[in-house]
Structure 1
Amino acid sequence: MKNNHEDSSTTSPLQTIRALQSNKKLTNVHVKDFERGTFITHLAKPNNNLYILLKGSAKIYKHHENGKRAILHFIQEGEYIGELGLLSVETQTKDVVAQRQCSCLVIPFESNKDVLMNDILFLKSLSTYLAQKLLSRTDRLSEELNYPLIKRFSRFILTTEHENLYEEKHVEVAEYLNVSYRHLLYTLQQLCAKGIVVKEGSNYRILNRKQLMKLADYF
């Protein structure tokens, strides 16, 4: 889903890094593939790289003291992974799991951190990126208070589906949308009853994208 706060005049993370590469300021930059369900970064292992997601999508999880973990954010193509580690403001690595097969541009901290932290254009791009991310999460919190679940859930399905197939776990989605498991299932049954989605194994296939977008208020 496109961030409502994106500015087309802003240099994207990938454009910024490519510009640094073209000037031969970065070293040991490479592309790495991750299979679906594998960790891009892991709680139990320090992260020493900045990533840009080139292809696919991923989920960021936060672990709580009671042993549970919750989805914080769905990472889409073009987004950073590990930027808070680069800034040394995150002391504990979060789990980032490939939602489907992913390809990432990997920029090692060891050989590139000094260059990145002293490049004005990179820091400006990163600041804009972080501000947009903050606004996006603020919007989501506001929507929880002001919009019905069917609208928020429709948006969520459109954000996470792949080739018209919705595959997310109900428990995680209920926590992410801050609703009860029962309320989420009831809303999903409503979408099925309207012929908008249909159960396919343990997943759901979108049958009427136009109607789903209408419920999500994308028109």
Structure 2
Amino acid sequence: MIRTNEDFLSYAKQLYDDQSRKDDIVIKHYSKGSLLLMQGEELTRVMFICRGIAKVFFSEENGKQFILEFLGKGEVIGEIELLRNISCLCSIEAMTDISVYSFSLPYFRLLIQTDMQLNNMLLQVFAERIINTSSRASYQQLYTVDHSLSKLLEFQENHQLGITKEDMAAYLGITIRTLNRSLQKIGKDIKNIG
């Protein structure tokens, strides 16, 4: 459930260590609950997560949110917006304290034009995202909400995250009411989480 990418993490660290202009890549820290990107706003940096976990979500016009995925160390943020020259497609919020390698947009554009290693890694990431999205969609069709919720609760426990009921429902694509019924059915009580 958490996407990570050790290759990107090593790549970003190496570029950070070797850079000649110390403002091309900087390390930024965000506290839990901070927004790294805001849906609809202009992109200002491309980032690679060094440490921590973030959630990626869409906010719909009706005020509801849908969580697409959770990102961990090595994952890249903002590359699609840069490549397409568009505002942020979704919001990304720190679920834990988080640190990122933050790349200036001109420097990341230069890397895309000149660095075949980066381009190959980006192609791999894009292909993996398509596979993950397809797998998640089929999983949601083939398994019950109760089963998916059990997996989400297991994920939460394994990573010691406090996922709110609202976020659980947003990730599963269900209402709070349906979530509460499923929690009762599987015998879990999470009133104090988040």
Aligned partner of 1:82 in structure 2 is 78
How far apart, CA to CA, are the structure 1 residues paired with 2:33 and 2:181? 28
Q: TM-score, normalised by structure 1?
A: 0.74
Q: Quick one: which amino acid aligns to residue 203 of structure 1?
A: I
Matches within 5 A, 1:1-219: 1=1, 12-21=7-16, 24=19, 28=23, 29-43=25-39, 45-88=41-84, 90-161=86-157, 164=160, 167-192=162-187, 199=190, 202-203=192-193
* RMSD over equivalenced CA pairs, Å: 2.8
* Identity level (%): 21
State the aligned residue count. 193
Paired residue secondary structure (2:141): helix
- Give the conservation status (yes or no) of the 8 Å contact 2:6–2:74: no
- Give the conservation status (yes or no) of the 8 Å contact 2:12–2:101: no
* Bigger mean CA offset, 124-133 vs 151-160: 151-160
How far apart, CA to CA, are the structure 1 residues paired with 2:69 and 2:111? 28
Q: TM-score, normalised by structure 2?
A: 0.82
How far apart, CA to CA, are the structure 2 residues paired with 1:36 and 1:145? 32
Please list every run of 5 or more consecutive structure 1 residues that lacks an aligned counterpart in the other structure. Answer: 205-219
* Bigger mean CA offset, 22-31 vs 122-131: 22-31
How far apart, CA to CA, are the structure 1 residues paired with 2:33 and 2:154? 20
- Give the conservation status (yes or no) of the 8 Å contact 1:58–1:99: yes
Please list every run of 5 or more consecutive structure 2 residues that lacks an aligned counterpart in the other structure. Answer: none
